Structure formats: C-alpha cells, structure tokens
Amino acid sequence: MREIRLSAYFHHPAIVEFVGISWLTLKDMSIVTEFMVNGDVYSVLRHQRQLPSHDQWLRWYPLVAPDESDHKDQNGGSSITLGFHSRVAASPSKLSMALQIAQALVYLHSMRVVHRDIKSQNVVLNTLFTAKLCDFGISRRISLLMTANKGTIAYMAPEVTMLHYQYNIYMLGF
C-alpha cells in the first residue's frame, strides 16, 4: 500500500507515471503505470553485451554531430572541429540516462523520500529511451531516525545502517 501511495504522489519526467491500480483481492494488487516499451536498463545492457562492438548503439556519451558552421573553414575548405558549437544528436547514452535518474533522485529528495533500491532493473526506458525510475516498494519518507536495512545488497553502500539521501547517490552507480 505504501508503494501505491508513493507512486501516485510523484509527478516528475524521470519517474514512471502512475496510472492506477488493479486488483482481484487486497492481496492480489497490481500497480498500473505508463508503458515503458524498451524495458529496463539491465536487460538492454545485457543484450548489448552480446552484440559485436561495432553494433553496440548505447555508448557512454551521445553521438556528436557538427554544426553546419563547423564544416567550412575560412578558405572554403572542409574542416570539422567538434568544439563548443557542436550539437548533440538525439541519441541515447548511458550518461544521459544516469543524469535523468540523478534528476529523479533530486526530486525524490526534495519530497523527503529515499528510494533505497536504485539499480539498473529499476530504471526503465520509454520509446525515446528516456530513463525513468520505478519500483518504490521499499522507499520511505524521511523521518529523523530510521534504521531499517532493506534493498539489493550488491548496490548498497557498505556503511548503510541509517536511512539517508547519500545512499541513493551511492546506489546510482548502476
């Protein structure tokens, strides 16, 4: 029930949009969210590792395309300089996904909520490969003292004994 309340409470472009709930009984409830056609980041990265390196489309940095002004030098010749005036093509990148999730965490922290389970399986991608945070099952609103240790151990900071915002930042290293 806490996950449903929290999911309905959040409204941010980098958090999966809550649509409603579906249930047969109180124990058989499902959360209905926007459809994230490209699945989770974990599955995308796992699939990409199986491809030859020249076919791997998801890189750390977005592809950079030069501006028209970058194509010609003063003598009318062709020179490409990828500097300050370059524009970034609309291509997904690991960096842009990490930044989108960082923005979601800033929003959550402003709402005094700690996610507590940041991992690549809890980051999903829409048709434009925009990353969105999901799964608020063990998320908590911050109070002065909270000490429950829950989450995926492999992604937790070793010193996690209290609930604090910094732990979400540590776990962002998916």
- Residue from 161, 127, 159, 139 nearest 4 by CA: 139
Name the pLDDT band for 88 (thresholds 50, 70, 90): very low
The whole-model pTM stands at 0.68
Res 54 pLDDT > 80: no
Domains and CATH numbers, the chain: 2-51+91-171 (1.10.510.10)
* Distance between CA atoms of residues 81 and 71, nearest Å: 8
Give the Cα separation of 167 and 169 in Å (integer).
5
Q: What pLDDT shows up at residue 61?
A: 75
Where is pLDDT greater, at 39 or 89?
Answer: 39
| Residue type present at position 165 | Y
Q: Which two tokens stand for residue 85?
A: 């005036």
**Rounded distance between C-alpha atoms, residue 150 and residue 173, angstroms:** 18
Residue 72, C-beta contacts closer than 8 angstroms, at least 6 positions apart:
78, 79
Distance CA 133, CA 16 (A): 6
The DSSP annotation for 39-73 comes to -BHHHHHHHHHTS-GGG---BSS--EE--GGGSB-
For 114-171, write each residue's pLDDT tens digit: 888 899 999 999 999 999 999 988 888 876 444 555 666 556 665 554 456 666 666 6
Q: Residue 41 is which amino acid?
A: V
Segment 57-79 mean pLDDT: 58
Q: What is the pLDDT of residue 150?
A: 60
State the pLDDT at residue 155.
61
pLDDT, position 169: 64
Give the model's pLDDT for residue 27: 79
- Cα 38 from Cα 169, distance rounded (Å): 24
| Percent of all residues in the chain with a pLDDT value above 70, rounded to a whole number | 64
CA atoms within 13 A on the CB side of 117: 16
Ordered alpha helix ranges (H), the chain? 2-9, 41-49, 94-110, 165-171
Least confident of 21-30, 98-107, 123-132, 155-164: 155-164
